[in-house]
Amino acid sequence: MENLKNIVPVDNFDWDVFEQGETYGNVSKEDLVKTYDESLSTVKDKEVVMGTVTSLNKREVVVNIGFKSDGVVSMAEFRYNPELKVGDEVEVYIESQEDKKGQLILSHKKARATRSWDRVNEALEKDEIIKGFIKCRTKGGMIVDVFGIEAFLPGSQIDVKPIRDYDVFVGKTMEFKIVKINQEFKNVVVSHKALIEAELEQQKKDIISKLEKGQVLEGTVKNITSYGVFIDLGGVDGLIHITDLSWGRVSHPEEIVTLDEKINVVILDFDDEKKRIALGLKQLTPHPWDALDANLKVGDKVKGKVVVMADYGAFIEIAPGVEGLIHVSEMSWTQHLRSAQDFMKVGDEIEAVILTLDRDERKMSLGIKQLKSDPWENIETRFAVGSKHAAKVRNFTNFGVFVEIEEGVDGLIHISDLSWTKKIKHPSEFTQIGAEIEVQVLEIDKENRRLSLGHKQLEENPWDVFETIFTVGSVHEGTIIEVLDKGAVVSLPYGVEGFATPKHLVKEDGSQAVAEEKMEFKVIEFNKEAKRIILSHSRIFEDEQKGAKKEAAAGEKKPAAAKRNKKEDEGNQVVTGSVEKTTLGDIEELAALKEKLSGK
């Protein structure tokens, strides 16, 4: 009550205005609005300004920029800053001073992007080192948050050495340099490698200036390829070729080294600019040939493993880095050249005999056939002349058949020694490769390691019997099996063949005999040595006609001497046959002489 006593009424209070709802008194409304507007900040759309956080929750952040109304920004735009609190100053981008509801529209993300783009360009111009947060992996590299902008970090720009696991970098904050900006597409490329290259370049120069052949350095296995290993010598790369990894054979460098392994290497060579450095690993250990047993000599037996196969032979490793060659000819006593793969394969453990040994040239030749006795040492007792054996057909030639009686023992059956009776033009008519055939040893050529063999000798010579059957003048039934220009081949009994010239194939009616025709033939020549029988069909009826004429003439003059004339007729037939034989022989001899002269 005491306070009320001290209240003094306003002398100029306008009760009428108060009753109408006006409370401004003598001050105009326009003046008050003007005064209020002057107390607020003047802002423009599409502008970045600073504001103060007045309140926030899980979804929104209220920001006061000194405008007549506060703006609301999504909390998602401040996810990068989990420590945001009331009173913090933040930069915002004015999207619009008022929307349809009169609300101020702000964006913190766009404000960061706008400011970040200026910041990024400034960092590129000044070659500044900046920090960035690696957000995730992407194709070919990583995505890095730099000033709120998503920049690209290529995989090749992460480090000076190849990166095998990109995931270990996700979530890390690292230093970078901006190396490229695409203003049109707003793309930024950053590099971490660029920060350490300058330091490495100086380190590289120091290492290169001190390089010397034969120098031993420690390095790290940087990369492994099928042809060699790249070694990081501390900013300088060198290559160990696969052949310089080990004294033994290496299929792949991974058998010797592993990635990131630290090893000692020796410098073998480098170019004038020292950009290509050849390194060696095996050179750090003595050559295996130098450690080879000094007592090892030709004729000794050794054991080893097949490491390389070729058609001409196999390389046997008898100790790491010490190899010998077994030529295919030293794998078997047989003279039939085959592929080495027929005898062994890679990985086989074998025993062999040293044939040659050159320690200076570091070469050795081996053999495995020497583990068996030479089949030709006692050939005269094991395969004596006249002995009979089973053989296997290996090959054909126009003049005979090559066969193998056993491994290393070969022989030839001449085409003339295949059959007593058949006229064989090519051995394939008689047998086939791979077939078994019975043979008899005819001759031994030990020097050339070859036997002369025969097949027909296993049977008696039928021509001894044929000589008594196919006598000159005898008549036999035969079949024409082949007709040639010079005559026809005739099949006779007992599997023997004869030959008849065209004039001896004329029938009694004047027609010519044809193939497959069966008829009687008279023997007009028999040659046992040449195994030749000459036949005639026409001679049969010709001789009969001659005999009939003689009988008629003898009947008129000397009927009483019929029997005697009959014997004379038989004699005449023989003479006639011999005359024909001579005539035919003359023709053949003339033909042979003509060929001989033509040849000369």
Q: What is the 3-state secondary structure (H, E, C) of 67-124?
A: CCCCEEEEHHHHCCCCCCCCCCEEEEEEEECCCCCCCEEEEHHHHHHHHHHHHHHHHH
Token digits for 567?
Answer: 């014997």
Q: If you ran DSSP here, which 8-state letter would residue 147 be given?
A: T
Q: What is the 3-state secondary structure (H, E, C) of 18-39?
A: HHCCCCCCCCCHHHHHHHHHHH
Distance CA 464, CA 528 (A): 8
The packing angle between helices 562-599 and 538-557, to 10°, is: 140
**CB burial of residue 135 (10 Å; 0-12, 13-18, 19+):** middle
What would the DSSP string read from start to end of 362-427?
Answer: TEEEEESGGGS--TTTTHHHHS-TT-EEEEEEEEEETTEEEEEEETTEEEEEEGGGS-SS---SSG
What is the reported pTM?
A: 0.39
Per-residue model confidence (pLDDT) at position 18:
57
Q: 471: part of which helix (H) or strand (E)?
A: none
CB 316 within 8 A of CB 323: yes
Per-residue model confidence (pLDDT) at position 461:
75
Spell 344-360 as b/e; 16+ CB within 10 A means b: beeeeebebbbbebeee
Task: Locate CATH 2.40.50.140 in the chain.
Answer: 46-125, 127-198, 212-280, 300-371, 378-454, 468-543
Q: What CATH number belongs to 212-280?
A: 2.40.50.140
Q: What CATH number belongs to 468-543?
A: 2.40.50.140
Per-residue model confidence (pLDDT) at position 573:
42
Per-residue model confidence (pLDDT) at position 203:
72
Q: CB within 8 A of 557, min separation 6: which ones? A: none
Token digits for 138?
Answer: 């992407």
What phi, psi does 466 have (nearest 5°)?
-60, -30
Distance CA 471, CA 442 (A): 31
- What CATH architecture is 46-125? Beta Barrel (2.40)
Token digits for 114?
Answer: 């706008």
Distance CA 174, CA 477 (A): 113
Per-residue model confidence (pLDDT) at position 150:
86
Per-10-residue mean pLDDT of the chain, 600 residues long, equals 53 59 55 50 69 89 83 84 86 75 78 80 84 88 85 85 79 87 84 78 74 86 91 84 86 89 89 78 84 84 88 86 86 73 85 88 87 78 83 86 83 83 81 86 81 82 81 90 89 88 88 89 87 88 80 62 47 38 41 44
Q: Domain 127-198 class? A: mainly beta
Distance CA 315, CA 371 (A): 18
Q: What CATH number belongs to 378-454?
A: 2.40.50.140
Which SS3 state, helix, strand or coil, does residue 290 take? helix
Beta strands in 101-213 (DSSP E): 104-107, 129-138, 141-146, 149-154, 173-182, 187-191
Distance CA 250, CA 112 (A): 58
Per-residue model confidence (pLDDT) at position 500:
92
Q: What CATH number belongs to 300-371?
A: 2.40.50.140
Distance CA 44, CA 555 (A): 163
Q: If you ran DSSP here, which 8-state letter would residue 600 be given?
A: -
> Could you tell me if residue 379 is left (phi over 0), alpha (psi between -120 and 50 degrees) or otherwise beta?
alpha
CA angle 513, 515, 519 (to 5 degrees): 55
- What Rg, from alpha-carbon coordinates, does the chain have? 58
